[in-house]
Amino acid sequence: MRSGGADYRDAARLEHMMRGVSRLNGLKAGLERSMLREGDDKSELVLYNLQLIGEAANNVSEAICAAHPEIDFKGWAGLRHRLVHDYANIDFDIVWNALVNDLPVLEKVLAPLVASLPDVPPPPDNLKDFL
C-alpha cells in the first residue's frame, strides 16, 4: 500500500477495484472450475480483472487501508503479484476460490464504500502541457 493521505487517487483506485468486481461477476456467470485453463480467452479475462483489482488494492493509501480493515487490500495485492510474477505456475484452484469465495466478500464491503465516495475531480485544464 502507498503512504500518504486519502485523496482523489484513492477514490479512483477503489472505483477500479469495483469495476473489476463487476466485470468478474459477469464473467463468472455460467463458469465452472473445470472451464478455467491457461490460454482460454475467458480465463485470461478473469486473470486480467483479478490483476486489476490487485494492482488497484496495492496503490490505495495506508490511510484508506487503516480506515477499512474489512477489505483485504494486502491479500488482493498478493494475488495480483502471484498472477503476474509467477504466471507460469498459476493455480486455478486459487483463482476459483478467489472468484467464488473472496470476490463476493469484497463486493459486499467495497460497493457501499465506492457509492459513498465523492466524484473524482476532472483533470486540470493544463494537463496537455504535461503530456
Between CA 32 and CA 86 the distance in angstroms is: 23
Task: Write down the mean pLDDT value for the chain.
Answer: 89
Per-residue model confidence as pLDDT tens digits over 14-69: 999 999 999 999 999 889 999 998 778 999 999 999 999 999 999 999 999 999 99
Per-residue model confidence as pLDDT tens digits over 55-93: 999 999 999 999 999 999 999 999 999 999 999 999 999
What CA dihedral angle connects 70, 75, 76 and 80, to 10 degrees?
170
- Global pTM? 0.84
